[in-house]
């Protein structure tokens, strides 16, 4: 089991990080590891969304841990509006039923994931029945926690907006006041050596992000905050 992940150096094109196992430390490199402009936690830098998963099954303890991490996310009024439906390949019928709830383009790659989940929200506050405008936001926080906890355990998560909400509603009998929002493919990213040339391209293309100057503003919209400067 992966206990800890720690950066070594990020001097060349593919960042390096160490995974500490029980008794040994392995230096790992992967082109998907972020090259941050400012230092961030290794577990954040090494999270990415694979399109190809290994067929290695995910231990139940790891699944428990990642949903536990989701459980402890912050939420507006502590409403905890997230709900997850989950299906693992250990129950092929249930897993195939969940795969069929994704749009075709997502089914095409998510079929390699040993675990699928659907992220749902409750739409009203339990306390007063008022609409919870933060429900999707808070599902996002929970899914973020889940993804980071998964990364810390050597797993990967690929979230999807491309789902079939009506199919999900009828298949899982979603009650009124709930909504399916996302799906999540969960598993171990396939080893680069095992990939076809085409897949190797997508699975090794470095991840990119807009710089802080384009989304941290000061004074007025669009004006880069001073803290983003050198």
Report if residue 161 touches ligand FMN, rule: CB under 6 A.
yes
Q: Are 148 and 69 in contact (CB under 8 A)?
A: yes
Q: Tell me how many residues contact ligand FMN (CB under 6 A).
A: 10
Report if residue 159 touches ligand FMN, rule: CB under 6 A.
yes
Contact pattern from residue 106 through residue 125 relative to ligand FMN, giving x for each residue in contact according to CB under 6 A and a dash for the rest: x-------------------
Which position among 59, 131, 162, 211 is part of the footprint of ligand FMN (CB under 6 A)?
Answer: 162
Which position among 108, 207, 211, 213 is part of the footprint of ligand FMN (CB under 6 A)?
Answer: 207
Closest residue (Cβ) to ligand FMN? Answer: 162
Report if residue 137 touches ligand FMN, rule: CB under 6 A.
no
Q: Which of residues 89-108 bind ligand FMN (CB under 6 A)?
A: 106
Give whichever of 19 and 164 is closer to ligand FMN, judged by the CB atom.
164
Report if residue 160 touches ligand FMN, rule: CB under 6 A.
yes
Give whichever of 35 and 90 is closer to ligand FMN, judged by the CB atom.
35
Residues forming the site for ligand FMN (CB under 6 A):
48-49, 106, 158-162, 182, 207
């Amino acid at each position: 089991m992966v206990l800890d992940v720690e950066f070594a150096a990020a001097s060349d094109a593919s960042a390096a990080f160490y995974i500490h196992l029980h008794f040994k430390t392995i230096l790992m490199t992967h082109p998907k590891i972020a090259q941050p402009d400012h230092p961030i936690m290794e577990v954040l830098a090494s999270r990415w969304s694979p399109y190809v998963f290994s067929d290695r099954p995910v231990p139940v303890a790891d699944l428990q841990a990642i949903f536990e991490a989701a459980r402890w996310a912050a939420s507006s009024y502590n409403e905890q509006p997230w709900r997850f439906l989950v299906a693992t390949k250990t129950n092929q019928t249930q897993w195939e039923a969940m795969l069929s709830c994704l749009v075709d383009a997502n089914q095409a790659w998510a079929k390699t994931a040993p675990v699928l989940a659907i992220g749902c929200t409750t739409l009203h506050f339990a306390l007063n029945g008022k609409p919870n405008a933060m429900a999707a936001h808070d599902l996002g926080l929970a899914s973020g926690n889940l993804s980071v906890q998964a990364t810390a355990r050597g797993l990967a998560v690929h979230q999807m907006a491309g789902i079939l909400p009506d199919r999900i509603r009828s298949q899982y009998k979603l009650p009124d006041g709930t909504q399916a929002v996302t799906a999540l493919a969960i598993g171990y990213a396939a080893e680069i050596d095992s990939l076809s040339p085409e897949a190797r391209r997508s699975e090794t293309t470095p991840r990119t992000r807009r710089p802080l100057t384009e989304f941290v503003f000061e004074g007025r919209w669009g004006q880069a905050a001073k803290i983003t400067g050198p």
